[in-house]
Chains A and B, each alone.
Chain A
Amino acid sequence: MQIIKMMLITLILSCFMIPCSALPPFQVLRSCMDLKPYDNKSKTLRLDGGGYADKSIEGCEEQYDREINDHMYGTLMCNQKFYFIINDKKIDPELADNQSINPEIKPGVEFTTRSLWYKIDYEDKEYICIYAPLAEQGVGASRVQYYLIENAFDKKLTPQLTYYFFDKNIAPITSKTL
C-alpha cells in the first residue's frame, strides 16, 4: 500500500514538473485521416481560402496562408527551412511529437499548397488537422503525412504539434540504409 502511495505521489509530482502531454484521441486522428467525422461527437470543417501572402514574415518567403478569426495559419520558408504559421506565430514543425512509424520520415518534410487543412472539434476541444502529400511528384505524392495541432486557436496557449506517418515501405533516395 505504501509503495502504491509513493508511486502515485511521484506520478502526480512529475506531472507538475514536466508537463504531461497526452496524444490527441484516436477519434481526432481518424477524422483527420478520413477527412470526415469519426463519430457523432466529432465535427470537421475544411479551412479554405488559402493564398500566397503579399508579404511574408520578415526574413522568410513563399508564405501561403489562410485567415481564421483574424489570425493567420499556413506555411512558409525561412532560410530554406520549412515552417508553419499558427495563430500568426512562426512554428518549427520539427518540434512536433513524432509518431511516424517510419524511422526515415520525420516531422519537417516540406509540403506545398496541395495540403488540406481542417478544423476538428472533438469533446469540446479544437484541433487543426493537416493532411499533406509527402512529395509533389512521383511515389511520395500518394503517401500522406498528418499533423494534429492542439491549442491552435488560443493565443494564451502554446500550440502542441503531433506528427503521424504510417508507411514503413518508403525511404528518401538519399538514405544511407536504402
Chain B
Amino acid sequence: MFAVRLSKIFSVFVLLLHSFNLSGETLPSTVIKNCKIDNAYTINSLRDIMEKTWQNVCRVLGLSPTDIPGGEFCVNDHGNPVYIQGGDLCADSSFKIPINFGWCDEGLASCPNPSWSLSQDKKTCFRSDDACWKDIENVNQLKLLAAISYGESHWSNVYEEMAGIASVAIRRRDTAGFNSINELVKKNRTFSYAVYDGNERFIKLMCGDEKNFKTAYDAYENTYISTAIRGKTIFWKLDDQFLKANGALQCR
C-alpha cells in the first residue's frame, strides 16, 4: 500500500518536472508504423536461439527435425518432440509470437532519436538538459564543417577521410552557389547525418572543445585552400599532408 502511494507521488513529481520543463525538454512521442520483415523461429526455453527456419533451430540444438509431413518440431534422443516457436520478425527488430498474426503491424510509439527516452505511458519523450544542441544556422562555418568531417568519418580518425568529406561539402557548397556550409545543410536537409552508436561523433565535436579535435579542423583548413575556385579552374594546394596522403588518389 505504501509502495503504491510512493509510486503515485513519484509519478506526480516527474509529471510536474516535465510540465515545468525544469530539468530538460519534453516532446509528444510519435507513432510510427512497424511491419513484418521476416519469419523467425526459436524455442521458448532458449529465446536467444533465433533462426530463419524451424529445421535450423533443431540443428542448432543438435536434434533431428521431424520427418512427419506438416510437423514443425525436433526429436530428442528419447524420441520425444521438442516444439519450436514460430514468430514474426518486425522492422524494429522485435519478435512477435505467434507467426503470421499481424502483431508487427501495430503502431509503435517512438522518440526522435536515442538521446530521448520514452515515458512509461509512451505518450511523451524526455531528455535532460545535458543534451547539447547547437543551432546549425548560427554556428560558425569552420566548426560546422569540422563537425561534419569528424562526425561522418570512421572512429579511427583518418585525416585523409576527413579531408575527403570536407572537400565534398565545400565543392557541393560552391557548385550549388551557397554562401556557406550552414546554408548548404539548411537547404539540403539530407546532405549530412549524425549517428547514435554510443560514440556520437558529430555531437562530441559540436559540443566539445576545439583543441580536442585538431585533425578535423586541419582537414577543413587544408581542403578549403585546396578547392578554391576561380572561374572554371579549381586550384589545389599540394602541401605535405596532401602529397603524403594514402587514400585520396584523386588529389594526386
Contacts and interface: CB of A to CB of B under 8 A. Distances in A.
B194 A23 contact: no
Interface in A68-117: 98-104, 109-110
A135 interface: yes
A103 B133 contact: no
A49 interface: no
A175 B112 contact: yes
Contacts of B196: 169-171
Contacts of B136: 173-174
A33 interface: yes
B20 interface: no
Contacts, number: 117
B192 interface: yes
B114 A26 contact: no
A134 B190 contact: yes
A101 B110 contact: yes
Q: Looking at chain A's contact residues, is the secondary structure mostly helix, strand, loop, or mixed?
A: loop
A98 B33 contact: yes
Interface residues of A, number: 35
A105 B35 CA distance: 16
Given A103-B30, A137-B152, A178-B133, A168 B92 contact: yes
Given A169-B113, A173-B151, A101 B193 contact: no
Nearest to B147: A173
A29 interface: yes
Contacts of A143: 193
Contacts of A104: 112-113
Contacts of A99: 33, 35, 91
Contact of B112 (A23, A33, A177): A177
Interface string B33-61: 11111100000000000000000000000
A6 interface: no
Interface string A136-178: 1111100100000000000000000000101011111111111
Given A169-B195, A169-B196, A139 B151 contact: yes
A138 B192 contact: yes
Nearest to A25: B36
Contact of A173 (B114, B168, B185): B185
A78 B110 CA distance: 33
B153 A138 contact: yes
A30 interface: yes
Contacts of B111: 103
A95 to B, nearest CB: 16
B97 interface: no
Nearest to A29: B37
Contacts of B189: 172, 174
Contact of A178 (B32, B110, B113, B190): B113
Contacts of B151: 138-139, 173
A30 B116 CA distance: 30
Contacts of A136: 168
A102 B114 CA distance: 11
Given A139-B193, A140-B193, A169 B114 contact: yes
7 contacts: A102-B32, A103-B110, A104-B112, A140-B190, A170-B195, A174-B186, A178-B203
Interface of A: 23, 26, 29-30, 33, 98-104, 109-110, 134-140, 143, 164, 166, 168-178
Task: List the 8 closest A-B pairs by CB distance, nearest first.
Answer: A138-B152, A177-B112, A169-B196, A140-B193, A26-B36, A103-B30, A109-B190, A173-B192
